[in-house]
Amino acid sequence: MPDTASRPGMLEQDAHRLSAVGDWTLPHYARLREAVAKVHQAESIDLQRLGELDTSGAALLVDLLGPEGVHDIAQWAPQLSPERQALLRVVADATRRPLYPPTAPRSGLTAALARLGQVVELLARQQLRLVAFIGLTLTTLLATLVTPRRWRITSLAAQVQQSGLNAIPIVALLTFLVGAVVAFLGATVLRDFGATIYTVNLVAYAFLREFGVLLAAILLAGRTASAFTAQIGAMKANEELDALRAQGLDPVQLLVLPRVLAMVVSLPILALIGTLSGMLGGALVCAMALDISTTQFLTILQRDIPLSHFAVGIGKAPLFAFVIAVIGCLEGFKAGASAQSVGEHTTSSVVQSIFMVILLDALAALFFMEMGW
């Protein structure tokens, strides 16, 4: 057999049986595969002149003999070494085993519960990533505060203009219209009780505590968080983030901190403008539909509405701003190298930001109610 060990592998067929000759190894796989494809499955094969054998040649022998024939190889080919017999059996077992284990059919309820479990697991992992990124952002912020040479004032001012000043018109217009709608609703409902004067209180409480900051936060979640995700996602797709790291720059410090701080500065200002615009819309409706003059409107505000309600509303703005900015930046870092991935994560950042803002606002409302504030 030594004189045949170095021969190219081949499959010889005579009148009696098949013979495997030479090396059945990967370099000869293509030619051997063509030879095996021309032969019908055999019950046995002469392996006395077989040279070298690897997994590719073993796979071809299994195709030729079938898994059952390989299982009984010790009986019809006792001259084959135990190592090669074991190799053939392992390859035969691998080809007989399905790639994916069969799953039992699920009923409608079982499938729905399984899908619900997958969604819950996905949300849990998503929240863990958010908490981890919040921790990374805070630690980077603390490390940057103690080193003033790392402060990026220019970038911060540019982000304040983009996320805050440029959003003033849309925030003012939207809250003005909502204020008018709330005043119309109050006038319609309270007229039946002869208490239309309390429309002023309704508008004031609604915008001082909730609508002023909430509408501004939702607008920034849709306008600015998506912009953060798209900007960072495009930079990642263009490998600009890798270039920053190669230059020894921290992307969190360079890209995330200016955006987060800009949002923390901008949202309280927008919330104040939104509150004033909403009450202006309510005052206009009161003057036109309820004969409540602007002077009377302001007098009721000063006399009956404590300033603490404004503090409750504006105090939620920095928290909302931080969460919106962090979610927008995190989704940008999670985006892939394709335009589709950037679009998907941009949508995800808007949905997550709005959801988190409403959730935090609901929790804050419950907390302030229990505290009596």
Kind and range of the H or E element at 208? none
Which residues are registered as beta bridge partners of 11? 20
Encoding tokens for residue 15? Answer: 């009148």
Per-residue confidence (pLDDT) for residue 39, from 0 to 100: 74
Among 359, 363, 366, smallest CA distance to 130 is for 359
Full-model pTM: 0.68
If DSSP states are collapsed to H, E and C, what string results for 99-150? CCCCCCCCCHHHHHHHHHHHHHHHHHHHHHHHHHHHHHHHHHHHHHHCCHHH
* pLDDT confidence tier of residue 4, bands split at 50, 70 and 90: very low
- At 43, the pLDDT band (50, 70, 90 cuts) reads low
Q: Which pLDDT band holds residue 104 (cuts at 50, 70, 90)?
A: low
pLDDT tens digits, one per residue of 321-373: 999 999 999 999 888 878 888 888 899 899 999 999 999 999 998 998 888 87
Residue 321 pLDDT: 94
Pairing mode, if any, of strands 18-24 and 10-13?
A: antiparallel
DSSP track, 298-364: HHHHHHH--THHHHHHHHTHHHHHHHHHHHHHHHHHH--SSHHHHHHHHHHHHHHHHHHHHHHHHHH
SS3 of 266, please?
A: helix
pLDDT tens, residue by residue, 159-168: 898 888 889 9
**Single-letter code of the amino acid located at 114:** A
| Per-residue pLDDT reduced to its tens digit, 215-266 | 999 999 988 999 999 989 888 888 888 888 888 888 888 889 999 999 999 9
Name residue 272's amino acid: L
Both tokens of 30, joined, read: 């293509």
Between 69 and 354, the higher pLDDT residue: 354
Q: Considering the chain, what is the average pLDDT of its residues? A: 84
